[in-house]
Amino acid sequence: MKKIILISLIFLALFACKKTKFEPEGPTDIRIRNLSDQDFTEVIVKTSEKNEDVDTLGIINANSTSDYFRFTKAYTKAEISAKIDIDGIVSTYSTGSVDFTYLNYIGQDRITFEVWISKPTEKELAIFNVIIEEPLVLK
């Protein structure tokens, strides 16, 4: 009798456990808001460790916002680079590389990265703010 109760408790414990449901990793729609007074050209955004999460957004004028671009996965940090023409000299500015290992993904949302030139002498961009705007409606 004790064996039957023990076996029953083991089966109950195994089958009563439920897996935690997590939100899907993506897709995530992202746009870039240029907070600087310089135009960004050839803007390249990498939102995760996946190769398909790299896209070229084109030109983002000063104090303007790009259109949304879809990425399969995104985090609150991203690698963003852009060419900037200052007094006829075109240089590549970047946020630098990001280690995505321990970051939490955003999920199915529309977001805006607000980017500005944080250190002009070092050609460094920085993400000033990440605005999660609305849930992404997938059809």
**Among the listed residues 45, 44, 86, the one whose alpha carbon sits nearest the alpha carbon of residue 62:** 86
Higher pLDDT, 81 or 10: 81
- For the chain, domains (ranges, CATH) are 23-135 (2.60.40.2890)
Taking residue 33's Cβ as centre, other Cβ atoms within 10 Å add up to 17
Distance CA 136, CA 139 (A): 10
Determine the pLDDT at residue 38. Answer: 95
In tens, the pLDDT along 2-43 reads: 777 767 667 666 666 655 445 688 899 999 999 999 999 999
**Among the listed residues 41, 92, 84, 38, the one whose alpha carbon sits nearest the alpha carbon of residue 63:** 38
Distance CA 38, CA 97 (A): 22
Over the chain, what is the mean pLDDT?
Answer: 89
In tens, the pLDDT along 60-74 reads: 999 999 999 999 999
Higher pLDDT, 35 or 1: 35
Determine the pLDDT at residue 15. Answer: 66
